Structure formats: C-alpha cells, structure tokens
Chain A
Amino acid sequence: ETGVTQSPTHLIKTRGQQVTLRCSSQSGHNTVSWYQQALGQGPQFIFQYYREEENGRGNFPPRFSGLQFPNYSSELNVNALELDDSALYLCASSLSDLSTDTQYFGPGTRLTVL
C-alpha cells in the first residue's frame, strides 16, 4: 500500500461528455503526477502539479486539465471525451526535493468511453 488513493475505481462515460477523476496523495507528499495507460501500453505522462501549479506537461491536448488543492489532493478533468480516452488513469504522489522525486502510484481509475 502506497497511501495514494483514487476515485472512482471504474467509470463509464459517452463520447463528448466530461469527467473528473480524483486523487489523494500519500501523507507528507507535495507533488502529484497523472498518467494515462491504454490497454497493453505503458503509462504516458499527462502532467504534474506542485504547490497547486502545473509543473510539467506531456503531449496531451488542453482538454486534459487538472487542479491541486492546498491539502495536495488533485483532480484530473477531461472534456469532450473521445473513444481513445478509454484507459487506466494513474495518479502518483511524491515529495519533490533536490535529490530525488520517487513517485508512488495509486491503484488507478479505469475509464471507459462509449
């Protein structure tokens, strides 16, 4: 157990809808990263939040957005859902300092877009 929790565990949406996924960080961690993992593929970095600001972003369109709250929990929002957005969405928390930034992952949210 990493102490990182995600909700919901599963979600079904239809194309064009919007979705919000939630993540609670491990105690003491100040940084949250989000990844998308399509079936049979490796995780792809979406973005990272540090102290409530986006601190890095992968190759994802602006309809993927996020928030980090003062308690370091986080949300991933996806607008105008497409069929290809169907994936396991992973949240990882870490303590960012100058020496290391080991990320600890939650169990993921399985999103299915019909």
Chain B
Amino acid sequence: LAKTTQPISMDSYEGQEVNITCSHNNIATNDYITWYQQFPSQGPRFIIQGYKTKVTNEVASLFIPADRKSSTLSLPRVSLSDTAVYYCLVGAFSGTYKYIFGTGTRLKVLA
C-alpha cells in the first residue's frame, strides 16, 4: 500500500494560485488519486480525481507525473472560504479494496 505524505500547512493570499503536493512513493499501478477538502467537524468534500497526466474541473486541477509517485492539487484564485484541510486519498485494489488518506495540509487563506 502507498504511504502518502503532505506538507502540514500553507498560507496564501486571496486571489493567488495554491499548489499542494502529495507524495505517494509506493502507489500501485491501479491506484486512483483523489483529493478532498474538509472543514472542521464535517465530512470530506470531493474536489477532483485522477489516474495520470492532468485532470481539470470547474474548481481545481490535478497534475500527476509519469511515475505517479506524487500528485499536485492546484486551486486557482483562492478565496477566504477555501481555508480548510486538504487531503489526498490513494486507493488500491489487490483482491480487496484499501484506502489511505494523506497526512493533510492545512491551508489558510489571508485577506
């Protein structure tokens, strides 16, 4: 199973682009990478999911290099409401499913 690590915290200003990286050195070939946002005492909220290269949706982009040992969540033009904890999640199927969340990155957006 992949071990996933993230920076503990990041600060940014409103309107800036924020990039958060997750390291998953032992990711298996069939693992997807999913990113979530979590506010205090709430369940994680889905942001984006990818397998390789680049994925973009209306709120974020996800960059996955060819070796897939890391992934980067990119949030364009953050606002104060983006202050939250961001997690990557790596899933693996090898007979049965198992999932590992990253260590989480606490993003603080400043005015």
Partner-B contacts on A (CB < 8 A)? 2, 4, 33, 35, 41-45, 48, 50, 54-58, 88, 90, 92, 96, 100-108, 110
Chain B interface, number of residues (Cβ within 8 angstroms): 22
Q: Which residues of chain B are near A43, meaning CB under 8 Å? A: 44, 87, 101
Whether the pair A45, B43 counts as a contact (CB closer than 8 A) is: no
- Bound complex: CA of A56 vs CA of B95, how far in Å? 8
Q: CB-nearest residue of chain B relative to A107?
A: B43
Q: CB-nearest residue of chain A relative to B104?
A: A42
- Point out the residue from A45, A103, A104 that lies within 8 Å of B100, measured CB to CB: A45
Whether the pair B43, A100 counts as a contact (CB closer than 8 A) is: no
Given contacts A45-B98, A56-B96, A107 and B42 within 8 Å (CB-CB): yes
Tell me how far the C-beta of B44 lies from the nearest C-beta in chain A, rounded to whole angstroms: 5
- Point out the residue from A4, A58, A106 that lies within 8 Å of B98, measured CB to CB: A58
Q: CB-nearest residue of chain B relative to A105?
A: B43
Q: Which residues of chain A are near B102, meaning CB under 8 Å? A: 42
Q: CB-nearest residue of chain A relative to B85?
A: A42
Q: Which 3 A-B pairs have the closest CB atoms?
A: A105-B43, A56-B97, A56-B96
